[in-house]
Amino acid sequence: MEFKLEAHRIVSISLGKIYNSRVQRGGIKLHKNLLVSLVLRSARQVYLSDPCPGLYLAGPAGTPAPPPQQQPGEPAAGPPAGWGEPPPPAARASWPETEPQPERSSVSDAPRVGDEVPVATVTGVGDVFQGGEADATEAAWSRVEGPRQAAAREAEGTAGGWGVFPEVSRAARRPCGCPLGGEDPPGTPAATPRAACCCAPRPAEDEPPAPPAVCPRKRCAAGVGGGPAGCPAPGSTPLKKPRRNLEQPPSGGEDDDAEEMETGNVANLISIFGSSFSGLLRKSPGGGREEEEGEESGPEAAEPGQICCDKPVLRDMNPWSTAIVAF
Amino acid sequence: MREADTLRPPQLMEVSADIISTVEFNHTGELLATGDKGGRVVIFQREPESKNAPHSQGEYDVYSTFQSHEPEFDYLKSLEIEEKINKIKWLPQQNAAHSLLSTNDKTIKLWKITERDKRPEGYNLKDEEGKLKDLSTVTSLQVPVLKPMDLMVEVSPRRIFANGHTYHINSISVNSDCETYMSADDLRINLWHLAITDRSFNIVDIKPANMEDLTEVITASEFHPHHCNLFVYSSSKGSLRLCDMRAAALCDKHSKLFEEPEDPSNRSFFSEIISSVSDVKFSHSGRYMLTRDYLTVKVWDLNMEARPIETYQVHDYLRSKLCSLYENDCIFDKFECAWNGSDSVIMTGAYNNFFRMFDRNTKRDVTLEASRESSKPRAVLKPRRVCVGGKRRRDDISVDSLDFTKKILHTAWHPAENIIAIAATNNLYIFQDKVPGLVRFPERSGVGFVFCVPVSSSDSPAIC
């Protein structure tokens, strides 16, 4: 669980950085954003892995016992007290809907081999690195994707619930994108920050109301192993809403603040991305969009590489994912 | 040697209100150039040692200040281009004038610095103020003669190399042929001729066809000091590529790839960030390369690609704090590194205004602080220690009380002598070791000193 919280926190921090970089003086710094997107991808990997207590990797500190309290501003030196509980089975039952069982079960505990491991203490090591093949597949697939894709995917994931990652493609989904099997009421003491159901109306956005495909990324990733299968029907309309506040760990006063802040951030990010988005679809320079790859001017003005998808696809995507795609 | 004569506090120059963004000695060490975030360049000149003023021997004084770059606006992309000077590189001196290249994110400029210490006097048609004389008052003719005047340093932009880069320029490097130089941005490296501004050759291009496939960017590059066909560039993945311009016009294919396999026990979310190389420098001999990533400096032998020959931990105690450093953006800080003149000592900066030096021969290292407190008469720079728990000595600093806003990113070492320039935010410290050719590192007991810091009777002027 601590992993997930940590990963969750890192994801939201990374998104904040990506957002802030757009308004930075001097334009987007490609290097920094590339690094942030790599972190996003790693955090997402951990975030998606099934929660399973007792199978954590030793952090560099290597302290055997978790410290009692996780302080803000400190690195994740250990899990908060009392947070080592496995998630209640009820919550777990619904969680796997977002992750296909066949593929994920073997990788349930393990970040992919050789993948980044959050800095956390360990209570048991052993089998963390198992899951070889599935891991490798996923790893291979994930490595192929570019950082923007990864960033987009993370953004989708955190934005709220309809972020269907390719590896979860096989999960059955409702048309609205909610996982089957009922969704957790907000009060469910889910140990994991579960992506909220996306059935609620979209927050007010002044943006193209396109009913997008849930996984627009997959079109770009066509041909990548383990990729695009299982996109929901294009006609589906995954609506978004801000993530609900996450369940608080018993110890986490600070965590409270962190989660609330994240939720607020996400809602803001959605609206902000949405509202400043129109320039991209116009593909005109006046939009003020600062995609780093879109900085070709003059000699390379005609370069198509700036936008990974065709325009019609873009128009079909919802603003959030499109923004990240463009980014 | 009398200590009183040889000890001075470090020269502390408040260069400007802006943060210093680059520091560079010229090839003789006589001149020291700094660039700042406001686009200004300040050049210091070393005073010649003289018997008349023994206490100011070898001090650096301001020689010239000029505005190199101004903020610009790219209307096409609605982007502001920062005026911050990213790098300054001196050209080898070929005549009485000095020349340097300075660059911001997009434009490189060649500046010529000339001295004027004489002026003609005795014109026939003009008077001293330059007004035309009444011809009726001119009764005789004279030949104008050159009379000495107060030294005036004139700086003029001789070349402007613009529109060569789509992405942000991170480094420039002058070739040993003294005719060409290269500039590198995140994805491309261009080769310019110093006399030609309207075109450049692209020699490295790592931009993928689909930007989604982007996995690494160029972070630094440098020409080999002796072989004009060789250059190296570092990447955000921690690898170095040595390229030979004789092999092909486009040097995408490297001649040598220097890469160290990652230690899997150290993996974290931030492994990729901390392995990104922030600076690469050839040794003066040309045999080695020095690289800096977030936590270490590494020495590579050009003849061995598999791994560095030496690795030094700069501040390994930060390894457990990477998450916080990611939050406050410190993990993205780009530290530079430097060789001393004989390639026996390497130096790099850290946080809390600390900088570190590693002696490659004795394997000893030292941490020093650039602070105003060291400006006392007969002061020596005291080695500092960061304690990570366990027993703490009296003057140790604990990791948690490090000031991460005080970072030393830019350092430079005089090409021949033990003089170092340390940029601490908007202050420039110049430390000199008057004991010739010797840098001492503390023994295990912790007693010792590194630099004898010279003492002067007058304060250095503050320059704005």
Diameter of chain A measured on Cα atoms: 60
CB contact under 8 A, A17 and B166: no
Residues of chain B found within 8 Å of residue A313, distances taken between Cβ atoms: none
pLDDT of residue B102: 98
| In-domain check, residue A321 | yes
- Percent of chain A at pLDDT exceeding 90: 6
Determine contact: B236 vs chain A, CB below 8 A: yes
3-state DSSP assignment of residue B100: strand
Residues of chain A found within 8 Å of residue B77, distances taken between Cβ atoms: 27, 285, 290, 294-295, 297
**B404 vs B388: CA distance, rounded Å:** 16
A25: containing domain: 1-50+309-326
Residues of chain A found within 8 Å of residue B168, distances taken between Cβ atoms: 26-27, 29-30
pLDDT of residue B173: 98
pLDDT of residue B229: 96
Query: Where residue A143 falls among pLDDT bands split at 50, 70, 90?
Result: very low
CB contact under 8 A, B272 and A35: yes
Torsions phi, psi for A257 (to 5 deg): -60, -40
CB contact under 8 A, A77 and B320: yes
CB contact under 8 A, A31 and B321: no
| In-domain check, residue A303 | no
Query: Where residue A157 falls among pLDDT bands split at 50, 70, 90?
Result: very low
Do A153 and A224 touch, CB atoms closer than 8 A?
A: no
Query: Chain A: nearest CA to B368, how far in angstroms?
Result: 26
For chain B positions 254-293, those within 8 Å of chain A (CB to CB) are: 264-273, 276
pLDDT of residue A279: 29
How high does pLDDT run on average in chain A?
48
CB contact under 8 A, B212 and A75: no
pLDDT of residue B138: 83
CA distances from A185 to A136, A196, A221 (A): 35, 9, 34
Query: Chain A: nearest CA to B22, how far in angstroms?
Result: 18
CB contact under 8 A, A31 and B319: no
pLDDT of residue A320: 44
CB contact under 8 A, B78 and A286: yes
Selected for mutation to probe chain A from B21, B37, B77 (highest A CB count within 10 Å) is B77
CB contact under 8 A, A76 and B323: yes
Angle at the Cα of B14 (from B12 to B16), degrees rounded to 5?
A: 155
Give the residues of chain B that fall short of pLDDT 50.
Answer: 1-8, 377-378, 436-440, 442-464
| In-domain check, residue A34 | yes
- A276 has a pLDDT exceeding 70: no
pLDDT of residue A45: 83
User: What does the pLDDT look like over A56-113, one tens digit per residue?
Assistant: 444 444 444 444 444 443 444 334 344 334 444 444 444 344 444 444 444 344 444 3
CB contact under 8 A, B168 and A77: no
| In-domain check, residue A175 | no
CB contact under 8 A, A146 and B167: no
For chain B positions 317-356, those within 8 Å of chain A (CB to CB) are: 319-324, 326-327, 329, 332
Selected for mutation to probe chain A from B80, B211, B262, B276 (highest A CB count within 10 Å) is B211
Residues of chain A found within 8 Å of residue B80, distances taken between Cβ atoms: 25-27
User: What does the pLDDT look like over A211-224, one tens digit per residue?
Assistant: 444 444 444 334 34
Query: Chain B: nearest CA to A129, how far in angstroms?
Result: 12
User: In this complex, which of A46, A77, A285 lies closest to B76 when CB atoms are compared?
Assistant: A285
Q: What amino acid is encoded at A162 in this protein?
A: W
Residues of chain B found within 8 Å of residue A148, distances taken between Cβ atoms: 211-212, 214
Residues of chain A found within 8 Å of residue B327, distances taken between Cβ atoms: 13, 73
pLDDT of residue B264: 87
Residues of chain B found within 8 Å of residue A20, distances taken between Cβ atoms: none
Determine contact: B77 vs chain A, CB below 8 A: yes
Residues of chain A found within 8 Å of residue B329, distances taken between Cβ atoms: 17
User: In this complex, which of A31, A60, A144 lies closest to B219 when CB atoms are compared?
Assistant: A31
Q: What amino acid is encoded at B278 in this protein?
A: S
| In-domain check, residue A14 | yes
User: What does the pLDDT look like over A240-268, one tens digit per residue?
Assistant: 444 444 443 444 334 444 333 344 444 44
**B326 vs B331: CA distance, rounded Å:** 5
Structural domain tally of chain A? 1
CA distances from A17 to A35, A40, A125, A323, B22 (A): 11, 11, 33, 15, 25
| In-domain check, residue A170 | no
Do B441 and B448 touch, CB atoms closer than 8 A?
A: yes
Q: What residues form DSSP beta bridges with B241?
A: B233, B257
Nearest-CA residue of chain A relative to B318?
Answer: A75
Task: Compute the radius of gyration of chain A from its Cα atoms.
Answer: 19
Structure tokens at B409: 């990113």
Query: Chain A: nearest CA to B398, how far in angstroms?
Result: 15
| In-domain check, residue A56 | no
CB contact under 8 A, A117 and B268: yes
Q: What amino acid is encoded at A73 in this protein?
A: G
CB contact under 8 A, A116 and B319: no
pLDDT of residue B132: 87
User: In this complex, which of A43, A145, A148 lies closest to B269 when CB atoms are compared?
Assistant: A43
Diameter of chain B measured on Cα atoms: 93
Residues of chain A found within 8 Å of residue B78, distances taken between Cβ atoms: 285-288, 290
Query: Chain B: nearest CA to A303, how far in angstroms?
Result: 9
Do B206 and B187 touch, CB atoms closer than 8 A?
A: yes
Of residues B453, B375, B376, B415, the one with CA closest to residue B14: B375
**B445 vs B8: CA distance, rounded Å:** 25
Q: In what order do the strands lie in the sheet with B87-90?
A: B87-90, B98-103, B108-121, B145-161
Residues of chain B found within 8 Å of residue A115, distances taken between Cβ atoms: 267
Residues of chain A found within 8 Å of residue B317, distances taken between Cβ atoms: none
Task: Compute the radius of gyration of chain B from its Cα atoms.
Answer: 24
CB contact under 8 A, A34 and B213: no
**In B388-426, beta strands by DSSP E:** 397-398, 410-413, 419-424
The pTM of this model reads 0.65
User: In this complex, which of B170, B273, B324 lies closest to A39 when CB atoms are compared?
Assistant: B273
**DSSP state, B250?**
S
pLDDT of residue B13: 67
Chains A–B, number of C-beta pairs less than 8 Å apart: 146
Residues of chain B found within 8 Å of residue A15, distances taken between Cβ atoms: none
User: In this complex, which of B78, B163, B332 lies closest to A288 when CB atoms are compared?
Assistant: B78
For chain B positions 144-203, those within 8 Å of chain A (CB to CB) are: 163, 166-168, 170, 186-187
DSSP character string of A129-171? G--HHHHHHHHHHHHHS-HHHHHHHHHHHHHHS----GGGTTS
User: Half-sphere exposure of residue B178, counting CA atoms within 13 Å on the CB side?
Assistant: 7
| In-domain check, residue A44 | yes
Determine contact: B32 vs chain A, CB below 8 A: no
